[in-house]
Amino acid sequence: MARGRVAILSLACLFIFLFSPYLMAQNAPDLERGIREYQADNYEEAIEILSQVRAKEPTSSMAAFFLGMAYKQVGDYPKAIRHLEDASTLKPPVREAPVELIDCLV
């Protein structure tokens, strides 16, 4: 009986280990699409996409960074500051975020 529980628990752990990266990466295509729009200088489109990503994943430092940068590019510094602050403090922090944040504050 104990062996059966151990086997089920082992299978459950294996399932979680194998599929957790897939489950966590569900919003990655939207994040990548938002970054591509930002890199293509389509800032309004990037803002729309990245705002949705941030709503779904408020702890994504990359989404915060690129959304802050898109707002910076369109001149909306108050919104840029909020997202760049998040990009600086969320885990893992984006290294470039503090520099861009200081630039917006100045």
Q: How far apart are CA 36 and CA 6, in angstroms?
A: 46
What is the extent of the structural domain holding 42? 27-105
Average pLDDT over residues 34-39: 96
pLDDT at 91: 93
pLDDT band at 28 (very low <50, low <70, confident <90, very high): confident
Has residue 3 been placed in a domain?
no
- Count the helix, strand and coil residues of the chain and give each as a percent rounded to the nearest 5: 80, 0, 20
Question: Which SS3 state, helix, strand or coil, does residue 96 take?
Answer: coil
Has residue 52 been placed in a domain?
yes
Has residue 57 been placed in a domain?
yes
Q: What is the pLDDT of residues 44-102, one digit of tens each?
A: 999 999 999 999 999 999 999 999 999 999 999 999 999 999 999 999 999 999 999 99
pLDDT band at 23 (very low <50, low <70, confident <90, very high): very low
Question: Does the pLDDT at position 18 exceed 60?
Answer: no
Has residue 5 been placed in a domain?
no
Total domain count, the chain: 1
Q: Which residue has the higher pLDDT, 14 or 59?
A: 59
Sign of CA pseudo-dihedral 30, 31, 37, 42: positive
Has residue 73 been placed in a domain?
yes
- Which residue, 61, 68, 71, 70, is CA-closest to 95? 61
b or e along 69-99 (b: 16 or more beta carbons within 10 Å of the residue's beta carbon)?
A: bbbbeeeeeebbbbbbbbbbebeeebeebee
Has residue 84 been placed in a domain?
yes
Write the CATH number for 60.
1.25.40.10
